[in-house]
Amino acid sequence: MKMAKQCIVAGILLFFCAVVCFSADESIKLYPSGNGKWSIPFGKRSYDYTNIRVARVVDGDTLKLENGERVRLIGIDTPELHESQKLYRDSQRSGQDAGTIQALGKRAYAFTKSLVEDKFVALEFDVERHDKYGRLLAYVYLKDGTFVNAEIVKQGYANLMTIPPNVRYADLFKQLYKEAREQNRGLWK
C-alpha cells in the first residue's frame, strides 16, 4: 500500500514538472498516436511539415499550425489587422489612417483565411527557419500545389517584403505584384 502511494505521488510530481517545463505560450495538447490512443508530447517534438493542418489564420500573412507554432509567410506583407506599433508606423509611412489600414487588413485576412484555414499544407523553408519573434518562416503550399505566398500576392492582397537571405522567390513575387497592381486585383481595386 505504501509503495502504491509513493508511485501516485511520484506520478503527480512528474506531471507537474512536465507542465513547468513548457514555456508560457505553449500548451499541453493531445495528439493522435495512430493506434487509437492519444499521447501528450513532452520536450521537443519534430513535426511533419510536409503535411500539417493550419489551425487558424492570425492575419493575412501569419498562420497558426495545429501544433501551436506560428508561421510567418516569407516575402509578403499584408496590411495590419491588429493594433500594434507596426500599424502606426505603416500609417505614418503611407499617410493612411490606422482605420483604413485595418479595413484593408481585414480583407487580406479574409482572403488568406478562405485559402488555408483548416487545410493541410506543406512548408518549404529558406535560409533562415525562424524570425526574431520565434515564428517559423516558410513558403506554404496547399495539397493541390497552390503556392499560398504567391497566390496572396497574385490576387492583390499583399505588398512585397524581401528580407535577405530569404529571397528564393523574390523575382516571382515581384512579377505577380506588378500584375496584380496593373490589373486592379484585391486591395488595388
Catalytic residue check, 135: yes
Residue partners of 5: CB distance under 8 A and separation at least 6 = none
Catalytic residue check, 182: no
Active-site residue, selected from the candidate residues 53, 83, 124, 135: 135
Active-site residue, selected from the candidate residues 80, 83, 117, 179: 80
Catalytic residue check, 72: yes
CA–CA gap between residue 154 and residue 131 (Å, rounded) = 24
Active-site residue, selected from the candidate residues 69, 72, 107, 151: 72
- Catalytic residue numbers read 72, 80, 135
